[in-house]
Structure 1
Amino acid sequence: MTPEAFRPAPRAGLNASQVRAGGGPYRDVLAFLQARFPQALDWPQRLLAGEVLDAAGRPVHAQSPCPPGTLLWYWRQPPQPEARVPFELTLLHQCERLLVVDKPPFLAVSPAGRHVQETVLVRLQQQLGLHDLTPLHRLDRDTAGVLAFCVQPAHRDAYQALWRERRVHKVYEAIAPWREDLTQPFTARHRLVEPKDARFHQMQVAAGEPNSETEVARLQEIDPALVPGAPAGARLGLYRLTPQTGRKHQLRAQMAALGLPIVNDRVYPVLQPEGPDDFGRPLMLLARALRFVDPLDGREQGFESGHALPLGRNGD
């Protein structure tokens, strides 16, 4: 086995991450890790405990040399203890190539930032032992519904191409303010841009050629008394959203831009300060269905969420 072929075993269901030194020069491994990940303050302790490995799987020390190109393995750690998300995943489909789940709200898809263990990917790896799983698309942490994974690395590109080439039919449902004047159906077109400040999480609507398109259809009026977190006296509707493009936060940003912010959205139209999750007030956005033609066998594949809006406290 060559050094590049080595891959550490998962820990607590979490795959190891890798980083390669670039730039510099750095006086040692500790200096590189502190420069690359300044938000993590515990690199000295992790190095002392042997939790950072070289390309061959050997623990490295804080003072180990770190020339450009050095490959290091490590395991992500949350910056603070994670509260367990009290909702479970539902398995919709599993074969040797694809795994599809019904994701609850409040559960991130994969480890990032302060969410490491409480993610769909880690839960599946712990439950099923499938350590090569790769998400084929993304759902926001607050969004519930159908989420697909590739099981084997050899098939990733074929399936990911479906999303890159817009060959997946996606249907969402949302609860938002009622609008009598909405043309049926209405096609929303906006230019969405991501701010240069990485700390600012909202996508912005900008002038110029639209790069985001969603068909918006009003389905029925919803009794606000049935919707956790609904504003007092609000008139609400159930909407079907069919995106033709796949920009970050596309549905949430476009609905807010239309004056139809999705109920319990903590980002649009006003970014709320981070705080403890209120599991009784989930975002009223559901990835209802996915359909595509399987690129490997040509069969029509279709998956539908078993959730229903409003999402209750038990996630159903």
Structure 2
Amino acid sequence: MNLHQLRFVREAVRQNFNLTEAAKALFTSQPGVSKAIIELEEELGVDIFARHGKRIRGLTEPGRAVLVSVELIMQEIDGLKRIGKEYAAQDSGSFTIATTHTQARYILPKVVQAFMQKYPKVRLSLLQGNPKQIAEMVMRDQADIAIATEAIAGIDGLVSLPCYQWEHVVVVPPEHPLLKLKQITLEEIAHYPLITYDAAFAGRSKIDHAFEIRDLKPDVLLEAIDADVIKTYVELGMGVGIIAGMAFDAERDTHLKAIPVGHLFGMNVSRVAIRRGAYLRSYIYTFIELLTPTINRKLIDQVMQGNKDTYDL
């Protein structure tokens, strides 16, 4: 048994059991991958993969148990490599953040700027996606951390910490009738076409739930992943926008007015998520501390060790 065999098994699963794609991803040959997997199966005395002819169709029952062990072993190997790299170069390396557009556009710029001033030799990458996608990026070691709203909490294999709270705002053109109300209500909002987030983003589920429990069916004219897109169509007079409060800047958005609606849709919590058991380089701790000053390295370590109730907003 060797590490190459374990890598081949893991990559075959990641490539949806396509050995040709697995070989490409690992810069080797398809026959070599196939042979190594068969040799591992012979050594273990069980079939890891279910086959139809020469094609792999999926994992067998013992194969699923083998995959769990393979993932654990490869995580430990990756951790050892990272330890070596960090001690060889404390202030340089690579750091990948998976996040949503809202976080990347409105929250992270100042944090990234402060981080790069501290660690100019670190190569920083931002990957964007919806909460499910960015969680998978961390689970697959494509990213070191994920930053999003509540949707990344409670995912098996990840630990997460709350960073900050925020509320939605309704955005409308100046002189809009909603601005004349002392207290805006769901019923009033539902009178107008709505322009808001796609279902996977920025607390959209809370918006939908609030209308549902009041038995209201608003006309959602347009859904987007980008608050700037939402604001553009609101400026054109096509409807009322609902966006994250952080995405409204009174100095920039001079053609719009914002109405806080946390009392209607509740407060949202953005979180930072890390793969359970991951080895964190010192500059990753620093980035998280810059993102959320109330979190420190000791607290992160406690949560990583399974003490889930040590911190909340």
Same fold (TM over 0.5): no
* Richer in strand (by share): 1
- Is the radius of gyration larger for structure 1 or structure 2? 2
Greater RCO (Cα-Cα under 8 Å, separation 6 or more): 2
What TM-score, normalized by structure 1, do the two folds share? Answer: 0.27
